[in-house]
Structure 1
Amino acid sequence: MSNVRLFFAKSLSLNLSSKLNKSQSHYLAKVMRVKVGESFSLFNQSGEWEVKINEILKGIVEFTVLKKLREKDNEKDIWLAF
């Protein structure tokens, strides 16, 4: 699995197929040079997911969710006292 980790605003679920937006697709394919068949991480409001690239067509990356890596960390209730 690649060390690439991107934010994905939409909800994710196991075996879901979807596409990245144009700027994320460009970053993944042209800058990080991730290829079809390789996997990377997406995270959103529900946690972090491992996804696999199905195809890169006309600059858009299509992927399938393989598994959930971890749940979202609960926010800590922090208090500052002066």
Structure 2
Amino acid sequence: MTNRIRVAVLATNAEGFLDLYLSFVEATDLEYSESQQYDMALAQAEDGGYRVPMIAFDQNDAAADVLRHADEFMEGDTDEV
């Protein structure tokens, strides 16, 4: 059985700008425990025209929480860093 996992990839898009590629990956518990969800998402991003540098994080990583805070910070909704 697989689990549907949300993954974001920070990567360079076709125009050469940093961008976020958002995707779902299907991973078994074993694949997840071996962190294969990142490789799956990186491959999807590459197939979508994204290039290195690339780094992936999933919905359970600390980076996902930081991304939520970063959105508030960038929009000016908070002055807390």
TM-score by length of 1: 0.31
Name whichever structure is richer in helix by fraction: 2
Name whichever structure is richer in strand by fraction: 1
